[in-house]
Amino acid sequence: MNRRPLDREDPDRLYTVTRGRSEAGDDTLDLVALIVAEDEAEPGMQSEHATILRLCRHNPVAVVELSARLRLPVSVMKILLLDLRDMGRITVRHPSSAAAPAAYTADLETLKQVLVGLESI
């Protein structure tokens, strides 16, 4: 059986990266939450924090994408992101919180017609 790179990850490294924490303790970060850096990386900063800030400096990046790019489990990424949020270095944007433009909102009658059409298929 071929082991995935994450399966070979040294658990001591993950323990060190999170400073021994195993849970984020905050459910506000979901996989598609967008992260925007509000600050530049500084010398002496934890390398993972600095990398996150560099990746999110010019464009919002989803939590799951950051996890993939840094090759860290999502649970570890959430802990790192909450650290940065608590320091005021990032902003978390939730795509579902953005209001839909009025032009794209469907009225109830249109939705009923779509449902009837789907049921007839």
Q: Which helix (H) or strand (E) holds 55?
A: helix 47-55
At what angle are helices 74-86 and 47-55 packed, to 10 degrees? 80
- The overall pTM is greater than 0.85: no
- The number of angstroms, rounded, from the C-alpha of 22 to the middle of its chain's C-alpha atoms is 17
CA dist 49 → 56, 68, 77, 99 (Å) = 11, 15, 10, 30
Q: Which helix (H) or strand (E) holds 109?
A: helix 108-119
The pLDDT profile of the chain, 121 residues, written as one tens digit per residue, is: 555 554 455 555 554 565 555 565 666 788 888 999 998 888 888 888 999 999 999 999 999 999 999 888 888 888 889 889 988 999 888 876 555 555 556 678 888 888 888 888 8
